[in-house]
Structure 1
Amino acid sequence: MKPDSNRFDLSLRKDAMLRLPDAAGVQIICRDGTVWITLDSDQRDIVLEAGDRFASTEHRHAVVTALAPSCITVSATPAPKQSLHERNRRRPGLVFEQVLV
């Protein structure tokens, strides 16, 4: 079985942060704990608890902060249907940076 390079599980200690330079096409699933997601220029407070998920379609920087010890799954959401020309262009994998506080 080939590992899925567009999905990973991550355990975050309380106050740990995960930075996503571009959250477009990214889905975050909170499997345990509580996380707070902020997006650049977005006034919403997005809080996920175990079982909740969030997907972004906007090209914005995102920060996921663990409000308690948490486990999350981060994955690329399925791309919308594309033309043959667009499909032939390679889509880069997820880019992230973890920052521990």
Structure 2
Amino acid sequence: MNIALNPLAAFPFSSWVRALRGTGSLAGQRIVPAVRGPLTIDKGATLVVGRAAGTSVTCVSGSLWITHDGDVKDVLLDAGDTYHSERSGRMLVHGLAASSARVS
């Protein structure tokens, strides 16, 4: 699955939209539920994870930048690195290069 910025991305999972309600504009972002296989995240694309507590992100290839709303600490992942979120808010996973990631 390729993830790219898409201002018209309308995801049919209303629970994901409800999870992000009140967290700002969804324009230019795509909401994606948990997927078993690796995701392809294009350079410059952003994956939005609502209610990120307990979510793990493993960078299979490339380079990823992870940030949480309201948190000044960012995380950089290279191939083979894993990040486990303990924060309950929205998490953004941004492709610094064409990347592949596992999100669970």
TM range (shorter): 0.5 to 0.7
Of 76, 82, 91, the residue aligned with 1:47 is 76
Equivalent pairs counted in the alignment come to 71
Distance 2:49 2:66 in 1: 10
Query: Higher strand share goes to which structure?
Result: 1
Structure 1 unaligned regions, length at least 5? 76-101
2:88 corresponds in structure 1 to: 59
Over 3 Å counting, the alpha-carbon distance change for 1:67 and 1:26 in structure 2 is: same
Task: Quote the RMSD (CA, aligned, Å).
Answer: 1.4
Greater relative CO, 1 or 2 (CA 8 Å, sep 6+): 1
Structure 1 moving runs of 4+ over 4 Å: none
How far off is 1:7 after superposition?
3.2
TM-score, normalised with respect to structure 1: 0.66
TM-score (norm: length of structure 2): 0.64
Q: What is the rounded CA distance, in whole Å, between the counterparts of 1:44 and 1:9 in structure 2?
A: 25
Higher Rg of the two aligned structures: 1
In structure 2, how many angstroms separate the alpha carbons of the residues matched to 1:57 and 1:10? 21
- In percent, how many aligned pairs have the same letter? 38
Q: Structure 2 unaligned segments of length 5 or more: list them.
A: 1-33
Secondary structure (helix, strand or coil) at the match of 1:47 reads strand
